[in-house]
Amino acid sequence: MPKRVPLTYAASGVDVGIRAQALAALLGGVRYRPPPDHGRPVDLAGHFAGLVRLGRETVALTTDTVGTKVLLAEELRRWEEVGEDIVGVNVNDLAAVGARPAALVDTILCARPDDGVFAGIGRGLDRGLRRAGCALVGGETAVVPDLVSGFDLGGTALGFFPRGRRPVTGERIRPGDVILGIPSTGFHANGYTLVRRLLREESVDLDQPRPGGRGPVGLELLRPTRIYSDAADAIADRPEVHGLVHLSGGGVRNFVRLQSDVEFRLDAWPEPPGLFGWVQALGPLSDHEMFGTFNMGIGFAVVVSARGAGEVLRRLARAGARDAQRIGRVAPGRGVSLPGRSLAYAGYA
Amino acid sequence: MPKRVPLTYAASGVDVGIRAQALAALLGGVRYRPPPDHGRPVDLAGHFAGLVRLGRETVALTTDTVGTKVLLAEELRRWEEVGEDIVGVNVNDLAAVGARPAALVDTILCARPDDGVFAGIGRGLDRGLRRAGCALVGGETAVVPDLVSGFDLGGTALGFFPRGRRPVTGERIRPGDVILGIPSTGFHANGYTLVRRLLREESVDLDQPRPGGRGPVGLELLRPTRIYSDAADAIADRPEVHGLVHLSGGGVRNFVRLQSDVEFRLDAWPEPPGLFGWVQALGPLSDHEMFGTFNMGIGFAVVVSARGAGEVLRRLARAGARDAQRIGRVAPGRGVSLPGRSLAYAGYA
């Protein structure tokens, strides 16, 4: 195998810098703010969910797609996992503001509807909705053969704040806070354009296990996004919880979405599961690229006062996250760092 | 030109029967209903929006995409119109349950972000949000070159019911009610896979006016979806308003989504604008196909008690819909009919 320059997410066709610039061009045109009798948006630019005050309630709205992970599903002819991902990618963004999921609408774009595919997606949706405690209240199925090849799966989730709960925004994060992490179940639904390119270039057989892995590596890569709704719901009322992070696309850089004038120092990051190291070696990809693109084994994080950390860990365990652990702390400074690997990130995008 | 069998929407690649069957396969798998402390979905299967009771408020959620109209935008290199459509296709579904728009999230899938395109979409979004009285509170931009060619534009809108207003569901519709219609601005954002196929087959020059038309026919076809939010908001509190219909994909068949055990008798449908007749002749398409696929000049309808019709027309006029007019009535029976054209439709899909 010839020696190669390390790959990047940008080189695989997804340049987050270009995307950020285009998004700025779009948002530059959107100046309208509605009158207060049309609801009051809560300004949380760049956060995981949009918040709106409606009458006597505050609701949270978030939208996301499963992205190119569906192409892996297509290759393996398995649709339950990505059906479940429609729920996971959305409710985890609600969890990151402390909102409890209430309703989901799905959007399926396809070149041609297929009963078997749709039935599999339905079973996966059901499993995800059950895990999140969320109802499906509608959806859109668009047959657009001129626009998409195969399938695109996305959705929008609506959450709310039970009586007495306030949105968790990160504004109360301060140096000295402790950072707890909850493990992921793999790549969730982020970075698959890059992962798939590596699989293709190295002619990986998806039906075989990777070295050290159990079961076909295709199935390992297809595992659905872990759903953190119950975990977040169990702690979002506690005043010692200062911030919640969903480590989606952008990996550890997601911490910066909570607050930009502290340093998130991830000094106790656990060794990432073997799947991540195996993908990294396929590239090879740099540590900087890996931690700035993928969740690297931790899919959700909680920023909590040092005094409150023990109680929050106990509550997380009772809500099904016995594997939550301390992964770092908040320090004076800016950005995100992993001192053990000499990594630092200044911003999110 | 050789004589041809009349075209159908199905023959253009969009078979709504196959879609309905796949959708049934998906929904067959979704059995979960969340516990009441996760919000209470209001069962309105097949209606225009999903409703959820959250604490002391009821909210409405609806999701839709602009579909293949974006391909026309791409050809004409104009993005403001379809940007505005993202708002229109969604808030008009909110209007059909009497909900006032509060918030929108947009979803842009693209092969490659482009500043100029995104800036145009942003200007269009702003115009639509202004017309609807709606805030943009978030969005998703996915760069998925392996999934889409060009751009896909969609969104999800969240609406609510101002204090004292109840959702308008159609359950109170009864024989004797009057049907009022508000004109559309063209094809809105439905049926463009078929329209574009006709344009292509007949090698239509989009830069020229059609016979009898003003301005390039491409621009005529690109006109943004009329937004009915203010009109619906002005009448949704009135008890004499029994039903509201957004004539999106499926044309007049959308009436059946309100109630299946009355006949919607459209005995005063106005002559459709010339653009519709011109497209019909390109096929040629049958009247049955046209009225069951496109809005045919009426984009929104109100079902109102006979006694209340005058007052509702006055309120619509004050809210900017001076062009609202009587288009039919509700009779005992089932389905939708246009007696003047000997057309009848049994169901929606």
Q: What is the mean pLDDT of residues A309-327?
A: 98
- Expressed in angstroms, the distance from the first to the final Cα of chain A is 33
Distance from CA of B69 to the nearest CA of A (A): 10
CB B207 within 8 A of CB B247: no
Nearest partner of A11 among B139, B150, B141, B145, judged by Cα: B145
pLDDT at B55: 86
- Is the torsion defined by CA of A258, A263, A266, A272 positive or negative? positive
Question: Which pLDDT belongs to residue A15?
Answer: 73
CA distance A78 to A83: 10
Contacts of B5 (CB under 8 A, 6+ apart): none
Task: Please say if the pLDDT value at position A1 is more than 70.
Answer: no
User: Is it the case that residue A89 has pLDDT exceeding 60?
Assistant: yes
Tell whether B140 lies on the interface with A, counting CB pairs under 8 A.
Answer: yes
Q: Is A49 helix (H, G, I), strand (E, B) or coil?
A: coil
> What's the pLDDT at A7?
65
User: To which H or E segment does residue B73 belong?
Assistant: helix B69-76
Tens digits of per-residue pLDDT, A97-130?
999 999 999 999 999 999 999 999 999 999 999 9
User: What residues of chain A, 44 to 63, have a C-beta less than 8 Å from chain B?
Assistant: 49-52, 54-57, 59, 61-63
- Name residues whose C-beta falls within 8 Å of residue A200's C-beta, 6 or more positions apart in sequence: none
CA-to-CA distance for B62 and B46, rounded, in angstroms?
12
Cβ–Cβ contact B64 with A under 8 A: yes
Map out the domains of chain B with their CATH numbers.
Answer: 43-160 (3.30.1330.10), 178-345 (3.90.650.10)
Confidence of residue A3 (pLDDT cuts 50, 70, 90): very low
Residue B348's pLDDT is 79
CA distance linking residue A26 with residue A194, whole number of Å: 26
Please, which pLDDT band fits residue A2 given cuts at 50, 70 and 90?
Answer: very low
CA distance B176 to chain A (A): 31
> Tell me, what DSSP letter sits at residue A270?
P
Question: For residues A8 and A289, what is the distance between their CA atoms, to the nearest angstrom?
Answer: 6
Tell me whether B150 touches chain A (CB under 8 Å).
yes
Question: How confident is residue A5, by pLDDT bands cut at 50, 70 and 90?
Answer: low
* pTM (2 d.p.): 0.93
Q: How far apart are the first and last CA of chain B?
A: 33
On whether the CB atoms of residues B158 and A81 are closer than 8 A, the answer is no
For chain A, give the mean pLDDT.
94
- Of the candidate ranges A48-57, A75-84, B265-274, the one whose mean pLDDT is the lowest: A48-57
**Which residues on A lie below 8 Å from B148 (Cβ)?**
109, 147-149, 152
Q: How confident is the model at residue A16 (pLDDT cuts 50, 70, 90)?
A: confident
* Interface membership of A166 toward B (CB under 8 Å): no
Yes or no, beta carbons of B38 and A135 under 8 Å apart: yes
Task: Tell if the CB–CB gap between B119 and A26 is shorter than 8 Å.
Answer: yes
pLDDT of residue B5: 52
A306 touches chain B (CB under 8 A): no
* Mean pLDDT per 10-residue segment, chain B (349 residues): 56 76 90 92 84 93 96 97 98 97 96 94 97 95 90 96 94 97 97 94 96 95 98 97 96 95 98 97 96 97 98 98 98 97 90
CB–CB contact A147 B149 (8 Å): yes
Q: What is the pLDDT of residue B1?
A: 38
